[in-house]
Chains A and B, each alone.
Chain A
Amino acid sequence: MRVAVLDLGLGNLLSIKRALERQGADVSILSGWDGGTDLPPAIVLPGVGAFRDGISALGRFKGAIEMAKGGGATVLGICLGMQLLLSKSYEGGEYEGLNLIKGEVVKLPPSVKVPHMGWNSIRILKRSPITDGVADGEFFYFVHSYHCALQEDVAIAETEYGTKVVAMVEKRNIFGTQFHPEKSGAAGARIIRNFLEVSKR
């Protein structure tokens, strides 16, 4: 299974690359895509950095995003990668997102310590192939200061941290996790394996 990890230049991609490889994926790290080569059927938007830098770096992948929009590739956005899928973010200003999913990225409430850092359990709202074999209440590793306020009904799992926090989204061929599956032990590995399975279809 060929998978492209989009390198947004915001940090180390070793963990996500290895997590995909452990599940048998053939991973290429792309620093841009202009349509010149075959785009792998599965695309991962990795999870570190600030929204502004991430969305700016995605300018190098316009073709790939268009392909994904048309259903030509299955996408997994992780943490910031999921937030980039939304319409808008208020992280460090106000920035337009990819608008693949309607919603806004907003700061976690002041009642809790920020970042939301550590293992939290998820409540599965809607069963999906990507949560196949994942128990309701399973723990995943979260690290984030902003979260997704969705304006369409695409949340498939949530957690709680001062407020209800969207943990996973699914919209046709687009998936997102607010947590880091590549840092979430066996449960995270299961999500990654499921994503690869879904991408094969």
Chain B
Amino acid sequence: MALTKRIIPCLDVDRGRVVKGIRFKDLKDAGDPVEQALTYERQGADEIVFLDITASSDFRETVYEMIKKTAYSLSIPFTVGGGLRSSIDVRKVLLAGADKASLNTAAVMNPEVIREGAEVFGSQCIVVAIDAKRAGPGRWEVYTYGGRRPTGLDAIEWARRAEQMGAGEILLTSMDYDGSKDGYDIELTKAVSRAVNIPVIASGGAGNPEHICRALVEGEADAALAASIFHYGEYSVEDVKRHLKGKGVSVRL
């Protein structure tokens, strides 16, 4: 008996519709977040992350509608992030039915948002997402606004601070490796995993199941998030878990 490593597919959502979703013949509507999430649930996903990339605030409400529908159908936990600006947004996301809210830019601008969310809903509901870019040997800088703005903050220091403020989990994305399909930034993942005493989700760079394995074993991450390797149907969540199990990694299969 051991706590298993989690495999978390990530879905990008724009105005309540999934972009770059899974391409399967049996999906009636590839843009439907609920249908996409249920497909992953059936494949054995341990959680789902929705990243809201809706640019215009005119369509902000679409995310709450999506959360309600998802909560209605899904029977595994799901996280919603992207564009949450304040503890009011956190509250709305959680009350709509999400299990966790993920904060990124807002947490850097005002770390009190983490504390407020954790005090009202509990640390387990508050994920702090960190976009980190290599700045030198063993050093990574935190970026905000979807990776556009450097902050001068050290990623490891910021992860520790987020934990102190009450974050229940760190979602760590390597900007250098994101989209590369060359594997996760193992050094970054390991450095942050060792720096904090809360779970760390590795993100950015998964191209095959072995990459995920390395992030969990060598990177010491508690969970791995991936998007494109699942979306294009190259590997199912189950394929990844079978690979992990074969390598002696404890997974729910």
Encoded as 1 (CB less than 8 Å from any B CB) or 0, chain A from 100 to 141 comes to 000000000000011111111111000000000000010101
* B75 adjacent to A185 (CB under 8 Å): yes
B121 touching A118 by the CB < 8 A rule?
no
Complex Cα distance A143/B125, Å? Answer: 10
SS class of chain A's interface: helix, strand, loop or mixed? mixed
Q: Is the interface of B mostly helix, strand, loop or mixed?
A: loop
Q: A114-B197, A120-B1, A160-B2 are in contact. Are A188 and B75 (CB under 8 A)?
A: yes
A120, B124: Cβ atoms closer than 8 Å: no
On chain A, the residues within 8 Å of B185 by CB distance are none
Tell me whether A185 and B1 are in contact (CB under 8 A).
no
Size class of the contact patch on chain A:
35 or more
Q: Which of A49, A50, A118, A145 has the most CB of B within 10 A?
A: A118
**A11: which of B46, B73, B94 is its contact (CB, 8 Å)?**
B94
Q: Which residues of B contact A120 (CB under 8 A)?
A: 1-4
Q: A117-B169, A118-B46, A119-B46 are in contact. Are A183 and B121 (CB under 8 A)?
A: no
Of all chain A residues, the one with the shortest Cβ separation from B96 is: A12
Contact present for A115 and B198 (CB under 8 Å)? yes
Task: Give the residue name and chain of the B residue nearest to A79 (CB).
Answer: B124
CA distance A119 to B123 in the complex (A): 18
User: Please, which residues of chain B bring their CB within 8 A of the CB of A185?
Assistant: 41, 75-76
A121 to B253, CA, bound (A): 11
Q: Does A18 contact B (CB under 8 A)?
A: yes
Whether the Cβ atoms of B1 and A118 lie closer than 8 Å is: no
Cα A48 to Cα B99 in complex, Å, equals: 10
* Cα distance, A119 to B7, chains bound together (Å): 11
In-complex Cβ contact of B95 among A12, A115, A137, A161 (8 A): A12
Question: Judging by beta carbons under 8 Å apart, are B122 and A48 in contact?
Answer: yes
- Please give the residue numbers on chain A whose beta carbons come within 8 Å of chain B beta carbons, in ascending order: 10-12, 14-15, 18-19, 22, 48-50, 113-123, 137, 139, 141-145, 159-161, 180, 182-186, 188-189
